[in-house]
Amino acid sequence: MVEHGDIRVVHRGGSKINFREPVITNDSKFLLCASGECVKVFSTSTEECIHDLRGHTDLVTGVLLKPSNHLQVYSCSADGTVRLWDFIDGILIKTYVIGYPIYSIYASANHDGVIFIVTPTLGDKRSELFQLVAVHLPQCGDQLVEAQELSAVLSDVSSNPEAIAFGRGGEFIASAKGLQLECYFFKKQKSYRFYLKEDNKKGGKNTFMCIACHPKDDCVATGHEDGKIRLWRNLNHKKEYTYSTLHWHHSAVSSLRFTPEGTNLLSGGVESVLVQWRYNQESQRDFLPRLGAAITHIAVSPDGALFCTSHADNKITIIQSCVKVSAVIQGLVKGESVRSDLMVDPRSKALVLNGKPGHLQFYSLHRDKLLFNLDIVQQEYIHESGLQQFEVVKAAFDVSGNWLATVEERKQKAAELELNLKLWAFDEQTQSFVLNTTISAPHEARIAAMCFCHAADSRTTMLVSTSKDGQFKAWQLAAPAHTDADEGPSWSCDFVGAYHSLAPECCCFSADGSLLAVSFQEVVTVWSPDSWELLTTLSQPPGAIRDLCFGRLSCSKYLLGTTTKNQLCCWNLLTCSLEWSTSMDVSLLLTDPVSENMAAFCCQEGCTDLFVFKPSEPRPLFSHKAVCSGMVTHAVFAPREEMLESCEESSQWQNQSQLYFLTPYMDLMTFTTKAEEERLMASSKQLVIDDSVAMTPFYLLLGKHRQQQQEGNGDSASVLSAERTRLPQGSVAIKELLQTPAHVLPSTSFLCSMFIQSLLISVTDTREEKQDAEEEMESEKEEEDSEGEMDSSPLKLEQASLSPTAESAAPPLTKAQVRELRRVKKLDHSWLSGLLDC
């Protein structure tokens, strides 16, 4: 067995964006949210992810704008560090090492140089007790600083970040845990505690869920488990404190926020309704209903213009002034289980799995973005527990992505199972799937497996479904009956097969579509789909077949099966005999659609190991012990957009496609090599931009061009935008035309010639541009270090004098500093070149 250190398992994509409260920046342009091990920066207007702030090595547990500098942001993580970022450029400014896992972070403008974090009580790390600690951030220039000055403020706080909040101007901090509210006044260094009874007479649970402090008044709002909101006042009195109660929510209030002016209070909970209460006029409230899923966090922009809510279905909604949903940032929807397998849509290369109830979600792994949801069930989902509703349980794509088959089922308590098989055709015009055929009750019992015929060249497409009722059925696209000619072709049953009244389990088509293998408990039957003739049976008792896969490409003569009795068998279909078998408990076997490789996840002692092998030889190409704890039941090979050129034997299997799998805790993981990670870092470096304009695709198309114009004449060789073509709008004539006020403009006839001339000039420009672009293409292949050399020619001189010094000074500098230095250099260009031109 070969182990390789440079391939590691990473969280890739689809991580939670609703884990912690998002942060809206001061200018309301960006939204920052913790997502797995990085902080994502989204544009609030376009919903695009602009860049990731990478650096933490464990889950990011909090994001917070630095109170003294609104262009910098703190992030804290369970890895025990607090990092300070410049979020516009995505630069890590400082790392403060705390040394204890951090669960949330707070700061206030009143406490300069101090942040407040929640860590486990220092005595023992395993304990469930948390404390609020003030950290004095040392003021020194180093990048990596160890913060040693810690002082406990409150002991026994909740680890829920919603349960602690700073009061008016940071004068006090309020923390709620269980049935106790505690307010600590910093000036007096005195804390007041208020207790509630466990439940009131009507049985409402009084447990505190969340807390918010009014920005101007000494008023603390708390949300409770029974849906009540209490507004506490007179907090500096042991006895004469008072509170008023607001009640709209029917179940627990999960988040509360005051608007920055303190005029409104926002609350949200399971009802997925954002409620806006007028402060001091609580009988007046506004609702924003139908937000889709339970609200977990609410955030308000510093100017109060934008609200944003995080939802339980991994979604962030941006709301303009509590009336209009202006943007929805949707992450990968993860329920408790994935009933449909993971699939890859052959067209969009998107990961397809269960999403919202009754939907299939298409998730782009490369862009880490939800593309769209396909409504399969087409019925209104009722938000109520205990209701039996239609669920998508199976889905399959044909090889070209033209057809999608889905199975939905509903199990009423006593009544029969309701099953629907739906076939969806891809519509080129609308670029989405359109329902073609609905087959109600395709089988009498639950459908166990479903697959399309793989053959790409076959004229007719075929779908085979196996069911617990002892039959497998082949469905074929057939021309419509003569009577209604206006309808297109639809699907109908072509063949019903059975074998010794055993229940079929798995089915699989060979790569060329000439063979169909269906497993009936421990027997594998091989059929010819053309004649529906039983060709042969293979069996390797004991143990029923769990998974069945045909080999591909050069290994297409092999059929692999795994059994429940810890066997992995490989049959040669030419000889109809067992080629090899090995004893391992394979929980999941899958084939790479673009290579011969197969992956087997083996469950051993509570952990899952991965083996990648070729069916032709029983020796694994790659193995990885303990990829995660628990059993992996869902995985998929996703083809890469661009091939990797790894020549290492152990990572070659990753060149064409990437293996993604879901852990039992619904984390989407993948394998990555060191080289790939470096490439990723480099690409994120490229995205560093100088101005504060949002890095949207639109900006990449047009905005960058403007910058180039400013940099000087056409000979500038920017590092970026090799494939971008320069457009003529930037020329002086057109600028004049557009910027001069209309009443002072000369006549149109005069302008016309100017305009046409400008167009002529631009033609030569573009030619030069092309040359430049070619140069760039070449230069890009060079080493990263030569980046500095690629600057504009008027600056060559200065550059030459500067870069050697930078190079010579390089060893003591860290990479990030060098990057920073380069950025500074680039900033200077415009005015320097102007001087030189004179």
In order of 528, 540, 590, 600, 644, the CA distances from 562 in angstroms are: 22, 10, 11, 9, 30
Question: How far, in Å, CA of 599 to CA of 551, rounded?
Answer: 11
Question: How far, in Å, CA of 450 to CA of 392, rounded?
Answer: 13
Region binding other proteins by CB under 8 A among candidate stretches 242-250, 269-277, 327-335, 650-658: 242-250
Structure-token pair, residue 327: 């943007």
Torsion angle, alpha carbons of 703, 705, 706, 710, to 10: 140
DSSP symbols for 263-321: SEEEEEETT--EEEEETTEEEEEEEE---SS-EEEEEE-TTSSEEEEEETTTEEEEEET
Which CB, 237 or 619, lies closer to other proteins?
237
In order of 606, 709, 834, the CA distances from 703 in angstroms are: 53, 10, 21
At residue 676, the 3 state secondary structure works out as helix
Q: Does 459 participate in binding other proteins (rule CB under 8 A)?
A: no
* Sequence-separated contacts (24+) of 404-407 with Cβ below 8 Å: 404/374, 404/433, 405/450, 405/452, 405/463, 405/465, 406/340, 406/360, 406/376, 407/442, 407/447, 407/450, 407/465
In the complex, the smallest distance separating the C-beta of residue 280 from other proteins, rounded to whole angstroms, is 7
Q: Give residues 342-361 in contact with other proteins (rule: CB under 8 A).
A: none
In the complex, the smallest distance separating the C-beta of residue 194 from other proteins, rounded to whole angstroms, is 11
Region binding other proteins by CB under 8 A among candidate stretches 69-77, 234-242, 554-562, 603-611: 234-242
Neighbour-count burial of 445, counting CB atoms closer than 10 A to its CB (0-12 exposed, 13-18 middle, 19+ buried): middle
In the complex, the smallest distance separating the C-beta of residue 73 from other proteins, rounded to whole angstroms, is 29
Which CB, 167 or 504, lies closer to other proteins?
167
Which CB, 259 or 301, lies closer to other proteins?
259
Binding-site member from 39, 64, 105, 219 for other proteins (CB under 8 A): 219
Which CB, 244 or 388, lies closer to other proteins?
244
Q: Does 786 participate in binding other proteins (rule CB under 8 A)?
A: no
Binding-site member from 68, 69, 284, 830 for other proteins (CB under 8 A): 284
Which CB, 194 or 661, lies closer to other proteins?
194
At residue 680, the 3 state secondary structure works out as helix
Q: Does 242 participate in binding other proteins (rule CB under 8 A)?
A: yes
Which CB, 280 or 692, lies closer to other proteins?
280
Question: How far, in Å, CA of 174 to CA of 416, rounded?
Answer: 54
Region binding other proteins by CB under 8 A among candidate stretches 228-236, 449-457, 566-574, 683-691: 228-236
Q: Does 241 participate in binding other proteins (rule CB under 8 A)?
A: yes
In the complex, the smallest distance separating the C-beta of residue 162 from other proteins, rounded to whole angstroms, is 24
Kindly provide the b/e burial profile for residues 669-683, where b requires at least 16 CB atoms within 10 angstroms of the residue's own CB: bbbbbeebeeeeeee
For 306-430, strand residue ranges (E) read 306-311, 315-320, 324-330, 343-344, 351-354, 359-364, 369-375, 391-397, 403-411, 417-427
> Residue 243 is inside which H or E element, if any?
strand 242-247
Question: How far, in Å, CA of 48 to CA of 35, rounded?
Answer: 14
Q: Does 234 participate in binding other proteins (rule CB under 8 A)?
A: yes
In the complex, the smallest distance separating the C-beta of residue 802 from other proteins, rounded to whole angstroms, is 55
Which CB, 243 or 520, lies closer to other proteins?
243
Structure-token pair, residue 248: 């709209």
Neighbour-count burial of 188, counting CB atoms closer than 10 A to its CB (0-12 exposed, 13-18 middle, 19+ buried): exposed
Which CB, 217 or 648, lies closer to other proteins?
217
Binding-site member from 244, 400, 740, 814 for other proteins (CB under 8 A): 244
In the complex, the smallest distance separating the C-beta of residue 253 from other proteins, rounded to whole angstroms, is 18
In the complex, the smallest distance separating the C-beta of residue 244 from other proteins, rounded to whole angstroms, is 4
Region binding other proteins by CB under 8 A among candidate stretches 83-91, 212-220, 582-590, 747-755: 212-220
Which CB, 168 or 704, lies closer to other proteins?
168
Region binding other proteins by CB under 8 A among candidate stretches 66-74, 236-244, 250-258, 703-711: 236-244
Q: Give residues 152-171 in contact with other proteins (rule: CB under 8 A).
A: 168, 171
Which CB, 76 or 196, lies closer to other proteins?
196
Q: Does 217 participate in binding other proteins (rule CB under 8 A)?
A: yes
Question: How far, in Å, CA of 480 to CA of 104, rounded?
Answer: 62
Question: How far, in Å, CA of 246 to CA of 229, rounded?
Answer: 5
Q: Which residue has the tokens 């954002």?
A: 274
Q: Does 236 participate in binding other proteins (rule CB under 8 A)?
A: yes
In the complex, the smallest distance separating the C-beta of residue 215 from other proteins, rounded to whole angstroms, is 11
Which CB, 171 or 765, lies closer to other proteins?
171
Q: Does 200 participate in binding other proteins (rule CB under 8 A)?
A: no
In the complex, the smallest distance separating the C-beta of residue 177 from other proteins, rounded to whole angstroms, is 22
**Listed residue (687, 709, 712) closest to 700, CA to CA:** 687
Q: Does 243 participate in binding other proteins (rule CB under 8 A)?
A: yes
Query: CB of 717 within 8 A of CB of 779?
Result: yes
Q: Does 765 participate in binding other proteins (rule CB under 8 A)?
A: no
Which CB, 155 or 244, lies closer to other proteins?
244
Structure-token pair, residue 227: 């849906």
Binding-site member from 163, 235, 568, 590 for other proteins (CB under 8 A): 235
Question: How far, in Å, CA of 790 to CA of 813, rounded?
Answer: 21
Q: Give residues 254-283 in contact with other proteins (rule: CB under 8 A).
A: 280-283
Binding residues for other proteins, total number by CB under 8 A: 25
Binding mask 114-153 toward other proteins (x if CB under 8 A, else -) reads: ----------------------------------------
In the complex, the smallest distance separating the C-beta of residue 132 from other proteins, rounded to whole angstroms, is 20
In the complex, the smallest distance separating the C-beta of residue 721 from other proteins, rounded to whole angstroms, is 54
In the complex, the smallest distance separating the C-beta of residue 154 from other proteins, rounded to whole angstroms, is 18
152: β partners? 133
In the complex, the smallest distance separating the C-beta of residue 262 from other proteins, rounded to whole angstroms, is 10
Which CB, 216 or 367, lies closer to other proteins?
216
Which CB, 216 or 625, lies closer to other proteins?
216
> Residue 114 is inside which H or E element, if any?
strand 114-120
Which CB, 281 or 713, lies closer to other proteins?
281
Question: How far, in Å, CA of 330 to CA of 315, rounded?
Answer: 4
In the complex, the smallest distance separating the C-beta of residue 283 from other proteins, rounded to whole angstroms, is 5
Query: CB of 642 within 8 A of CB of 658?
Result: no
Which CB, 168 or 205, lies closer to other proteins?
168
In the complex, the smallest distance separating the C-beta of residue 276 from other proteins, rounded to whole angstroms, is 16
Q: Which residue has the tokens 């996840």?
A: 601
Question: How far, in Å, CA of 683 to CA of 674, rounded?
Answer: 14
Q: Does 285 participate in binding other proteins (rule CB under 8 A)?
A: no
In the complex, the smallest distance separating the C-beta of residue 243 from other proteins, rounded to whole angstroms, is 6
Question: How far, in Å, CA of 474 to CA of 485, rounded?
Answer: 24
Write the Ramachandran bin of 55: left for phi over 0, alpha for psi from -120 to 50, otherwise beta. left
Kindly provide the b/e burial profile for residues 711-750, where b requires at least 16 CB atoms within 10 angstroms of the residue's own CB: bbeeebebeebeebebebebbebbeeeeeeeeeeeeeeee
Which CB, 100 or 186, lies closer to other proteins?
186
Query: CB of 269 within 8 A of CB of 289?
Result: no
Question: How far, in Å, CA of 413 to CA of 411, rounded?
Answer: 6
Contact residues for other proteins (CB under 8 A)?
168, 171-172, 185, 216-219, 233-237, 239-245, 280-284
